[in-house]
Structure 1
Amino acid sequence: MNNMNRYELSDGEEEGEDAGGSVRPLISALQQKRRNLILHLDLNNTILVSDTATGQGLREALNSYLSTVTWGRISNTGEWEWISDQPSVKPPSPDAINYNTQFGRDGNFSDSKIGRRFKEVFTRHLDLLQWQGEADDTFTQSGEDGKLYHWILPSFFHLLSTLHQQGRHFSVILRTFGSDLPLVLQSVHATLAGKHPYFPELKELPLSVELTPGRIRCNKRENVLTRGADRVSTKGRERNIYDYFTAMSGIGGFQDHFDWWARNSFTSTGGKPFWIDPNDCDNLHLIIDDNIRLSEQDTDTIVNCRVLLDQGRGKESRKVPTSELYDICLVQTDLLRAIAEKDYFLDCVRSCEENYENYLQSFQLE
């Protein structure tokens, strides 16, 4: 559905009321439509099914991902037992443990004795990734089986196309710990030049791609963003990088600071820095990453999220747990849906915009 037409009044309705006379959230809807979207997207297991950081190819990466979204527990006899036959990003019960947490990521998961029950899920999604046509080094990757597959998920390009059709103002910031950002930016650039055989219409998009990747480096005193001649630091004014991101246009990318995350035991404290500003009525920042996870003490999650505060409150920001903004501004990638559903990323945006409106109401009541 085109969001620009979603809230049009039907004949006989008055502004602010539906046909039955109840009040409709038109002000909220119009605020949603006006907001500029700044979409922060991870690469591996979000818009790519591969992982240069670990050297995993397509099949290994998909298997490894499956091991993080399949759930079981240790039985009273000390053996592993499955709780659900359906993969899910959220645990199906409070006592559920994903396979990866218990045994580690497994690049051969669906071929193993214990993971064989998920072989059909693996095969189905692998088939959906197959490339129909000639090989193209810019858009395809070779699987371990010698077949050709999409490198960047079609649902990502569908997101760009549809947001443009809806007349939305948006920018995309690719965020990764890996080293494949330059090649991804070149592939996206080629797609917007009309060279992707699946998406020739994207040549019409008035989006530019900044091919120079940036870097974000963190320490206890500050976060520093660099790209080309640009250097922006949070030292002295925390919202500086937020303002830089907000002012970006088109598509660009940054390599985040993996060593800092590792030094902070892979907790949110050392994760990818990310800010939102509830007092900013014109812009909405969202981040989508498969390593965003709900966990106690925000362990094993990848985003260090901070809410910028009104200057009258004294402090510049407050750190928030993942649970506060989960599915509001922080989205844990459902890679299987991103592979199978062309509207997956659009659905994430749509849901987050609605949830963000509710979050703002509670924020204003604090």
Structure 2
Amino acid sequence: MGEAGAGSPGPGPGPGQRRRRKLVLHVDVNNTVVVADAVTGQGPRAALNAFLSAAAWGRRAPDGAWQWLSEAPSLRPPCPGAVSYSSAHGRDPRFADSPRGSRFRGALRRHLRLLAWPGPPHEGLSVCGEGGQRYHLVLPAFLRLLDELHRDGRRFAVVFRTFGTDLPRVLRALRCALQGQHPGFPALRGLPLPVDSSVGQIRCSEQEVVLCQGHTRLSTQDNARALYSFFSATEGLSGFQDHFDWWARNHFSCQGGKPLWIDPHDPDVHHICIDDNIRLDDSDTIVCPQVFSEPGGSCPRLAPTSELYGVCLVQTNLLEAIADEDYFLRCVRQCEENYEHYLASAGNQLQNGQ
């Protein structure tokens, strides 16, 4: 298939083929495409330790002692009643380096080796970690996703969505990569993917969600569809800081999470959010998915995470994202396949009057 600009229509569908939807990828930063945290000052080792503490499972014994229920890290609990170590003790930036988490030390060391930066340091694309070791700032799996979507002639855009302050650094790094400065991805040079460095904000309240970027200001009080249309029309790479205080005031539940608007009646766009804090438990997740139930409607309904998990919501497995350069590409392709099933199921329910 011939190549086309990332924001351009690309080649039209062949006879009998359905036009592929534009992908709008809403992507978290920390512990999704970047293994570091400028706000907390955590380098790659501390950030990876903190992730492992949330992927290690156990429970309290009757005498109060901690009992392990997992030997290997995983996103999902291994059995009913299991709780993550971080839920019981808080995220620990020294977890696998401590005696308590020593069983996960091998996973820590293995993935740090995979994160190591090859060759001379690059000021924008590599980051200095503990002990002076240089690491990838942006995961190679994410750069491969950009490369492969472009090679496949896809229409796509990436909107970074984070509570943190790392967006300018990440956008600068990606600009360097798109200039061909990454030793592992020289083919990214010249990819027609503009980088918008004007970081926007999304702020939430009981009355409205407000999006601001440059001279643009949109509010759900006027029309929630306007925000959906804004993100659907976005091009290239851009970023927004979401409203952490609102999430905290809503007890870290979906009610206060990052708003994501989805229109299953739109044949042209598929929105996908990728974030390590997406969880099936609506009382402990980071995205507030809002689905338009009617064509052209302006009042979306709050959808449960379970309805869209693996369809429009991807819980990042950081260890797989580090170890497998095809990870994000595989997640996106799986979501596209599941989205077709989701739309077919929704259509059947409408026909049956449900």
TM-score (normalised: structure 2): 0.91
Structure 2: distance between partners of 1:135 and 1:143:
12
* Counterpart selection for 1:272 from 252, 255, 258: 258
SS of aligned partner of 1:236? helix
Query: Is residue 288 of structure 2 the alignment partner of residue 304 of structure 1?
Result: yes
Report if the CA contact (8 A) 2:224-2:298 is conserved: no
Alignment of 1:188-227 (within 5 A): 188-227=174-213
SS of aligned partner of 1:40? strand
Structure 1: distance between partners of 2:139 and 2:298:
41
Superposition deviation, residue 365 in structure 1: 2.5
Query: Is residue 271 of structure 2 the alignment partner of residue 285 of structure 1?
Result: yes
* Counterpart selection for 1:179 from 165, 168, 177: 165
- Counterpart of 2:75 in structure 1 is 89
Report if the CA contact (8 A) 2:223-2:298 is conserved: no
Structure 1: distance between partners of 2:163 and 2:323:
25
Superposition deviation, residue 176 in structure 1: 0.5
SS of aligned partner of 2:189? helix
Query: Is residue 111 of structure 2 the alignment partner of residue 128 of structure 1?
Result: no
Report if the CA contact (8 A) 1:67-1:106 is conserved: yes
SS of aligned partner of 1:364? helix
Alignment of 1:18-33 (within 5 A): 30-31=17-18
Amino acid at match of 1:363: A
Alignment of 1:131-142 (within 5 A): 131-142=117-128
Structure 1: distance between partners of 2:160 and 2:116:
24
Structure 1: distance between partners of 2:189 and 2:195:
12
Alignment of 1:62-73 (within 5 A): 62-73=48-59
TM-score (normalised: structure 1): 0.89
Aligned-pair identity (%): 52
Report if the CA contact (8 A) 2:265-2:295 is conserved: no
SS of aligned partner of 1:266? coil
Alignment of 1:342-353 (within 5 A): 342-353=325-336
Amino acid at match of 1:331: V
Report if the CA contact (8 A) 1:71-1:82 is conserved: yes
* Counterpart selection for 1:357 from 315, 329, 340: 340
Superposition deviation, residue 76 in structure 1: 3.8
Query: Is residue 32 of structure 2 the alignment partner of residue 49 of structure 1?
Result: no
CA shift digits 1:247-298 (9 cap, x unpaired): 0111111111111111111111111010110000111000000011122xx1
Report if the CA contact (8 A) 1:232-1:241 is conserved: yes
Superposition deviation, residue 53 in structure 1: 2.7
CA shift digits 1:280-326 (9 cap, x unpaired): 0111000000011122xx122110111012158x8721101111111
Report if the CA contact (8 A) 2:225-2:298 is conserved: no
- Structure 1 pair 230/114, CA: closer, same or farther in 2 (3 Å)? same
Query: Is residue 219 of structure 2 the alignment partner of residue 233 of structure 1?
Result: yes
Superposition deviation, residue 197 in structure 1: 2.2
SS of aligned partner of 2:224? coil
- Counterpart of 1:154 in structure 2 is 140
Deviates more, 1:354-363 or 1:314-323: 314-323
Structure 2: distance between partners of 1:78 and 1:260:
34
Structure 2: distance between partners of 1:304 and 1:71:
26
Superposition deviation, residue 75 in structure 1: 2.6
* Counterpart selection for 2:319 from 336, 346, 360: 336
SS of aligned partner of 1:145? helix
Question: What is the number of residues matched between the two proteins?
Answer: 337
Structure 2: distance between partners of 1:233 and 1:276:
16
Amino acid at match of 1:67: S
SS of aligned partner of 1:285? strand
CA RMSD for the aligned pairs?
1.7
- The answer for unaligned runs of 5 or more in structure 1 is 5-25
Report if the CA contact (8 A) 1:42-1:289 is conserved: yes
- Counterpart of 1:167 in structure 2 is 153
- Counterpart of 2:352 in structure 1 is none
- Counterpart of 2:10 in structure 1 is none
Amino acid at match of 1:304: C
- Structure 1 pair 166/315, CA: closer, same or farther in 2 (3 Å)? closer
CA shift digits 1:81-131 (9 cap, x unpaired): 211211111111122111101111111101111210010000000000001
